[in-house]
A and B are shown apart, each in its own frame.
Chain A
C-alpha cells in the first residue's frame, strides 16, 4: 500500500519563526489533507490539497503530485500553533486514507 513519510518528526520553534513541514508519499494520490491535532486531540482541517497551492492566513500548502510530495508552511509561528501536524492521503484506486506519523511542533514564547 501507499507509504506516507513526514519530516521532521519533531520541531521546536521560537515564537515568530517560520517553518516548513514536508510530506512524501510513495504513489499517486487523489486526496491529500493536512490536519493540526491540538493538545485536546481534536483534528482541525487545515488544507484539502491533492494538487496545487493554497493559503489561509499564516499557513500555506503546496502539493506537487507528479513529484509525490506536499509542503506545509507556517509563518510567524505562535504558541497556539503547537501540536501535531498530520498529512493524510488516499491513493488513486484506493479506499483507505493513510496518515503519516506526524510532525510534533512546539512553539516557545
Chain B
C-alpha cells in the first residue's frame, strides 16, 4: 500500500526557535498533501492543504506566517513552525492522496510530536 513517512518522530525545542517537519510519500507521487494537528484525546484538525508547486491553502484560524508549508516536489512537503511557543506543542500529522483529485484515499504519516519548552 501507499506509504507516507514523517521526520522527525518527535522533537523538543526551546521557545523562540523554528522547527521543520518533513513529510514524504515513499512509493507514490502525491500531488496533494495535508497537514493536521491533534491535541491529546481530541480528533484531527486540518491545518492546511498543500499542492505541489503552488501556495498552500490554510484553514481559518491557522496563521500562515507561523506555520510555513512548502510542497517542493511530488514526494515532499515540509511544515516549519516558526518562533515556536509552548502553545504550539502538539502532534502534527501529514497525509497524502495518490492522485491530484480530492476524492481519493488518504494515507497518513506516523506523526511528529512537538514539545516546546
Contacts and interface: CB of A to CB of B under 8 A. Distances in A.
B110 A41 contact: yes
Interface of A: 30-31, 33, 35, 40-43, 45, 48, 50, 86, 88, 90, 94-97, 99-102
B102 A86 contact: no
A90 B43 contact: no
Interface in B35-73: 38, 42-46, 49, 59
B93 A101 contact: no
18 contacts: A31-B102, A31-B103, A31-B104, A43-B93, A43-B108, A43-B111, A45-B1, A45-B106, A45-B107, A45-B108, A48-B105, A90-B102, A90-B103, A95-B102, A96-B46, A96-B49, A99-B43, A102-B43
Contacts of B113: 41
Nearest to A6: B43
B108 to A, nearest CB: 4
A41 B103 contact: no
A40 B110 contact: yes
A42 B53 CA distance: 28
Interface string B91-109: 1010100000011111110
A27 to B, nearest CB: 15
Given A31-B103, A41-B113, A48-B105, A86 B44 contact: yes
A40 B9 CA distance: 10
A100 B43 contact: yes
A86 B42 CA distance: 11
A47 B90 CA distance: 27
Contacts of B108: 35, 42-43, 45
